[in-house]
Amino acid sequence: MKPRNFIIPVVLSLLMLLLASPLAQAYSGYYYAIPTSAPLRDCASIECNAFLTLYAGERVEILERTATGWSRVRLVDRSGIGWILSDLLSYSPDRTIRPASTYYVNISSLTLRDAPSPNSGALTTLHFNDPVEMLGVGASGWAQVRDLRTSLTGWVAPRYLSSAPSTYPKSPRRRAPARKPAPREEEAPAPPKAM
């Protein structure tokens, strides 16, 4: 048997084992978008302009990371460079390395909003113990979640989510109405003058 006929099958076998190994994916230069859709922004903040949308499984290369949880990425299969929350990326397109975090609504009803603000538009209403997938928490303190019933992605206040289903819904915290300040002495009306 010629040495050449022996070396080629051995090298091919080693190459196939290396490609099938999970470590090959873990050290890959490519990452994959996790949610159904995620905005690519022009700077590392949720207030920055979103100019492009990444879709589930889309490949990106990480160019830079910040301590605040953002990654500057370059799209691999189309042109574009921008910022995305690092929590929205995975080593694996099939998510076997980074499992999803499921949370449950812990109040009677909760509005899923299109932006991290109580004044933003409503996408749908979530109900007690509805499951959602946690995608990350923005700098504003709002959680970006995906409704597992409808696949809608939006924003909620994380205090209304629990890591396990609840027995009873919590009552939502409401702010006390603002009190009118007592008038200062100089503003108090003067008593009527006697005639």
42-100 pLDDT tens trace: 999 888 998 888 888 888 998 988 888 888 999 988 888 999 988 788 777 665 444 56
Greatest alpha-carbon pair distance for the chain in Å reads 131
Confidence class for position 9, pLDDT limits 50, 70, 90: confident
Q: Domains in the chain, start-ordered, CATH in brackets?
A: 27-96 (2.30.30.40), 101-162 (2.30.30.40)
Average pLDDT, integer, range 33-43: 83
**Distance (Å, rounded) from C-alpha 101 to C-alpha 161?**
12
Q: Whose structure tokens read 């924003």?
A: 155
Q: Mean of the pLDDT values across residues 186-191?
A: 59
CA nearest 62: which of 35, 24, 95, 28? 28
| Per-residue pLDDT tens digits for 89-117 | 877 766 544 456 889 999 999 999 988 88
Indicate whether 28 pLDDT > 50: no
SS3 55: strand
What is the per-residue pLDDT for 139?
Answer: 61
What's residue 26's pLDDT? 33
Is pTM, for the whole model, over 0.85?
no
Convert the pLDDT of each residue in 122-165 to its tens digit: 999 999 999 998 877 766 778 888 888 888 888 999 899 998 88
Confidence (pLDDT) at 153: 85
